[in-house]
Amino acid sequence: MRKEVTFRDLERVLLTVGFVITHGPGPHKLYTHPSFDAKIVLPPHQAKETVRLANLVAVRRTLSENGVLDPDSFDRLLEEVIIP
């Protein structure tokens, strides 16, 4: 798993696999998937800010546990959307 991922990159992955952005609790962003019972809450952030590894691991686990995307596919997709 890539360790330097921006929130912009992570959001691209989530939107690519079908998540939509809804209002989260307070300033947080909530991503929901209409076809799976999957919800991801991310803290307030700037697009170019690096995602904390703990948040990245939690997203990866949530995708896998809810059948949205297996861990290897998540890693590959992240590599594809990363802007150099």
- Tell which wins on pLDDT, 4 or 73: 73
Query: Which tens digit of pLDDT belongs to each residue from 10-55?
Result: 999 999 999 999 877 788 899 999 999 899 999 988 989 999 999 9
If one counts the domains in the chain, the total is: 1
Whether residue 44 lies inside any domain: the answer is: yes
Residue 2 lies in a domain: no
* CATH code, domain carrying 35: 3.30.920.30
Residue 59 lies in a domain: yes
* 71 inside domain: yes
Given strand 20-23, what is the order of strands in its sheet?
20-23, 29-33, 38-42
Residue 1 in any domain: the answer is no
Mean pLDDT, residues 62-72 taken together: 95
Domain that holds residue 12: 7-81
- Burial of 6 (C-beta count, 10 Å sphere; 0-12/13-18/19+): middle
Q: Would you give the DSSP letter of residue 50?
A: B
